[in-house]
């Protein structure tokens, strides 16, 4: 049966993503070499761990002249959670290496990093690429969370790449996957494997960013999808005037998604995990803060509202942070013994034996549902699956109790009826916005330029991205520059430093100035669905975060 496609998909196939000027002649570029770099912290340790790749300079590209070169075979891996625009990164790599030499080949390893270890791959031909241009999802080769970490993994990767004549491997991933790209690049350089490694910054979470990586791809589209949904709920709340909607938003640790959606929709309450931590707020403080706003709105006969809750909140509430660290260490150091325990009661006894007194007290106070969610299996990078922790439900229950207390004290006379939502998967595979379509294609094409220049251990970097594409700056950033040492899985590890919401940054300050008004008045904004066609001020807008961060630059 012929595969059916929608009219929109057909129209999107025809969309030609825009490239920065430096890449408009092809992936042959002229290179300006910047200063040697150091890591963001723990430089001695990172230097010691990455002797072959540490300290490389930043690179900036301008248009180059076409040269006679030989074909280059390249491998690509999609790693970690889906993010809109992954297919465009791949089509950018494809078109980029073909611009270097028409006989260059692109191989896609299937199912994430495990594909390269197990040698599962397909050759990505023009027909395949054309069927995925400007589409959402990672289904072209699928993704996975396997961690490339052991020497066996590295050796298998090298020999599988070599068998296909692959000279460079592109890892499209978040902070953890790009950390692994750096480890792989180092190992290959140290052992002269003849395979280079390039990273591309992916994650809807928006937490892989710094001076040179201004945003990770997918954040723009995902936030626009969630903001549209939040706007729709706000309209419903205004219409019915009877529900409080508690919306948990994906984003793992950082609250970038929550903050961006707040800027796009102006809801009544938005919790920012980084602020909760900075103010050392305990769970009861968070509950009281939310209850206070609910009471104030009830006094104005508004028993409805919207609250946005970042999914990583619990990891930032100091008492929970300690509890989670202790649970991580127990689960990492007693993995086998813990898995052998048959019932939850036995597991709980085991945990209580190893937790400190304070953490054990907190753990036992929590509803059983939350307890079991806190001990769900960590991903291969040691991350707690925060998307599974029903923080929004926990808050609703605790707020109900608090409002009852206030009622008894004669301080509240409203009605609290709450509905919980979780927005995450709804946005991760949306068709990329024009911004993400252009940015991702440019990141991929630029990765081809780094490969053509024979670089390794670099992340593809496109800067100045709140401006039109002609002003975008293409180049490469050594991955080691973004690294520091953090405790993961019970051990100190070199990792890319996560970019959390900066409380002295322009986006947070803008939000903090206005949130009191948003809390009590109804200043809701309705972003509407992503527009792929139409005037630039509707179809090509960037996130408010990027706009505020780059204002005046």
Shortest reach from residue 221's CB to ligand FBP, in Å: 13
Of 179 and 266, which has the nearer Cβ to ligand FBP?
Answer: 179
Residues contacting ligand FBP: total by CB under 6 A = 15
Q: C-alpha dihedral over 249, 252, 258, 260, to 10 degrees?
A: -120
* Residues in contact with ligand FBP, shown as a per-residue x/- string from 181 to 210 under the rule CB under 6 A: ----------------------xxx-----
Of 79 and 91, which has the nearer Cβ to ligand FBP?
Answer: 79
Rounded (5°) CA angle 5-7-8: 100
Specify the stretch interacting with ligand FBP by CB under 6 A; choose among 88-96, 384-392, 409-417, 494-502. 384-392
According to the binding rule CB under 6 A, does residue 499 interact with ligand FBP?
no
Specify the stretch interacting with ligand FBP by CB under 6 A; choose among 80-88, 262-270, 272-280, 326-334. 80-88
* Residues in contact with ligand FBP, shown as a per-residue x/- string from 285 to 314 under the rule CB under 6 A: --------------------------x---
**Residues contacting 89, CB < 8 A, separation 6+:** 172, 200, 202, 217, 440, 441, 443, 444, 447
Element containing residue 458 per DSSP (H, E) = strand 458-463
According to the binding rule CB under 6 A, does residue 374 interact with ligand FBP?
no
Element containing residue 200 per DSSP (H, E) = strand 196-201
Shortest reach from residue 256's CB to ligand FBP, in Å: 10
Torsions phi, psi for 422 (to 5 deg): -135, 115
Asked if residue 197 lies in contact with residue 456, where contact means CB atoms within 8 angstroms, the answer is yes
One of 55, 111, 385, 490 touching ligand FBP (CB under 6 A): 385
Residue from 323, 318, 421 nearest 366 by CA: 323
Query: CB atoms < 10 A from the CB of 183, how many?
Result: 23
Shortest reach from residue 80's CB to ligand FBP, in Å: 3
Say how far apart CA 139 and CA 149 lie, in whole Å.
Answer: 24
DSSP state letters, 8-46: HHHHHHT------GGGTT-S-EEEEEEEE---SS-HHHH
One of 386, 449, 477, 481 touching ligand FBP (CB under 6 A): 386
Of 443 and 519, which has the nearer Cβ to ligand FBP?
Answer: 443
Q: Whose structure tokens read 């293409």?
A: 474
According to the binding rule CB under 6 A, does residue 428 interact with ligand FBP?
yes
Helix, coil or strand: residue 272? coil
Specify the stretch interacting with ligand FBP by CB under 6 A; choose among 77-85, 237-245, 317-325, 355-363. 77-85
Shortest reach from residue 262's CB to ligand FBP, in Å: 17
* Rg (alpha carbons) of the chain, rounded to whole number: 24
Shortest reach from residue 523's CB to ligand FBP, in Å: 27
Residue from 223, 357, 58 nearest 215 by CA: 223
According to the binding rule CB under 6 A, does residue 144 interact with ligand FBP?
no
Shortest reach from residue 314's CB to ligand FBP, in Å: 12
Torsions phi, psi for 198 (to 5 deg): -125, 140
Torsions phi, psi for 281 (to 5 deg): -75, 130
* Residues in contact with ligand FBP, shown as a per-residue x/- string from 233 to 252 under the rule CB under 6 A: -----------------xxx
Quote helix, strand, coil % in the chain, to nearest 5. 45, 15, 35
95, 176, 205, 220: which is the annotated catalytic residue?
A: 205
> How, if at all, do strands 305-310 and 418-423 pair?
unpaired
Specify the stretch interacting with ligand FBP by CB under 6 A; choose among 263-271, 293-301, 381-389, 491-499. 381-389
Shortest reach from residue 100's CB to ligand FBP, in Å: 29
According to the binding rule CB under 6 A, does residue 80 interact with ligand FBP?
yes
Residue from 250, 243, 296, 291 nearest 273 by CA: 250
One of 81, 206, 414, 432 touching ligand FBP (CB under 6 A): 81
Of 271 and 355, which has the nearer Cβ to ligand FBP?
Answer: 271
One of 266, 387, 434, 461 touching ligand FBP (CB under 6 A): 387
Q: Whose structure tokens read 């999808």?
A: 225
Q: Which of residues 433-492 bind ligand FBP (CB under 6 A)?
A: none
Shortest reach from residue 349's CB to ligand FBP, in Å: 28
Of 75 and 173, which has the nearer Cβ to ligand FBP?
Answer: 173
Of 75 and 81, which has the nearer Cβ to ligand FBP?
Answer: 81
Residue from 420, 379, 364, 378 nearest 397 by CA: 420
Of 97 and 204, which has the nearer Cβ to ligand FBP?
Answer: 204
Helix, coil or strand: residue 226? helix
Burial class (CB in 10 A: 0-12, 13-18, 19+), 303: middle
Rounded (5°) CA angle 434-133-66: 95
Shortest reach from residue 253's CB to ligand FBP, in Å: 9
Q: Residue 436 catalytic?
A: no
Asked if residue 19 lies in contact with residue 441, where contact means CB atoms within 8 angstroms, the answer is yes
Of 12 and 252, which has the nearer Cβ to ligand FBP?
Answer: 252
Q: Which of residues 165-184 bind ligand FBP (CB under 6 A)?
A: 174
Say how far apart CA 156 and CA 115 lie, in whole Å.
Answer: 11
> How, if at all, do strands 105-109 and 121-123 pair?
antiparallel
Shortest reach from residue 59's CB to ligand FBP, in Å: 25
The footprint of ligand FBP (CB under 6 A) covers 80-81, 83, 174, 203-205, 250-252, 311, 385-387, 428
Q: Which residues are catalytic?
A: 205
């Amino acid at each position: 049966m012929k595969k059916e496609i929608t009219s929109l998909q057909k129209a999107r196939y025809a969309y030609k993503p825009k490239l920065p000027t430096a890449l408009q002649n092809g992936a042959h570029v002229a290179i300006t070499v910047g200063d040697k770099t150091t890591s963001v912290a723990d430089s001695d340790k990172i230097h010691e761990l990455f002797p072959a790749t540490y300290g490389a300079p930043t690179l900036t590209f301008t248009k180059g002249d076409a040269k006679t070169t030989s074909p280059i075979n390249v491998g690509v891996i999609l790693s970690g959670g889906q993010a809109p625009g992954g297919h465009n990164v791949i089509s950018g790599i494809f078109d980029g290496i073909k611009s270097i030499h028409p006989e260059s080949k692109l191989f896609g390893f299937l199912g994430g990093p495990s594909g390269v270890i197990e040698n599962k791959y397909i050759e990505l031909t023009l027909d395949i690429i054309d069927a995925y241009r400007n589409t959402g999802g990672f289904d072209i080769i699928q993704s996975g969370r396997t961690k490339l970490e052991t020497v066996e993994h590295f050796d298998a990767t090298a020999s599988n790449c070599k068998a296909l004549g692959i000279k460079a491997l592109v890892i499209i991933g978040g902070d953890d996957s790009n950390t692994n790209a750096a480890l792989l690049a180092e190992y290959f350089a140290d052992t002269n494997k003849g395979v280079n490694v390039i990273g591309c910054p992916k994650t809807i979470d928006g937490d892989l960013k710094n001076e040179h990586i201004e945003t990770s791809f997918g954040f723009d589209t995902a936030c626009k999808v969630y903001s549209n949904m939040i706007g729709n709920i706000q309209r419903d709340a205004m219409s019915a005037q009877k529900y409080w909607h508690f919306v948990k938003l994906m984003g793992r640790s950082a609250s970038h998604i929550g903050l961006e959606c707040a800027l796009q929709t102006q809801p009544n309450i938005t919790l920012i995990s980084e602020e909760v931590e900075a103010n050392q707020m305990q769970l009861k403080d968070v509950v009281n803060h939310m209850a206070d706003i609910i009471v104030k709105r009830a006094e104005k006969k508004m028993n409805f509202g919207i609250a946005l809750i970042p999914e990583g909140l619990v990891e930032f509430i100091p008492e929970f942070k300690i509890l989670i660290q202790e649970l991580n260490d127990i689960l990492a150091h007693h993995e086998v013994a813990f898995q052998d325990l048959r019932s939850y009661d036995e597991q709980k006894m085991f945990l209580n034996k190893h937790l400190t007194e304070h953490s054990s007290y907190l753990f036992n106070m929590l509803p059983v549902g939350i307890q079991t969610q806190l001990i769900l299996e960590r991903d291969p990078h040691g991350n707690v699956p925060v998307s599974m922790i029903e923080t929004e439900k926990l808050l609703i229950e605790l707020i109900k109790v608090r409002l009852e207390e206030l009622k008894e004290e004669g301080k509240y006379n409203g009605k609290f009826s709450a509905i919980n939502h979780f927005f995450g998967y709804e946005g991760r595979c949306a068709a990329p916005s024009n911004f993400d379509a252009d940015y991702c294609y440019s990141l991929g094409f630029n990765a081809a330029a780094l490969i053509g220049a024979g670089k390794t251990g670099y992340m593809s970097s496109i800067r100045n991205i709140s401006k039109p594409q002609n002003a975008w700056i293409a180049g490469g950033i050594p991955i080691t520059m973004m690294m520091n040492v953090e405790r993961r899985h019970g051990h100190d590890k070199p990792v890319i430093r996560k970019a959390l919401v900066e409380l002295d940054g322009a986006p947070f300050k803008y939000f903090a100035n206005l949130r009191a008004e948003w809390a009590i008045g109804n200043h809701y904004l309705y972003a509407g669905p992503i527009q792929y066609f139409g005037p630039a001020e509707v179809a090509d807008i960037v996130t408010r975060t990027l706009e505020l961060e780059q204002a005046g630059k």
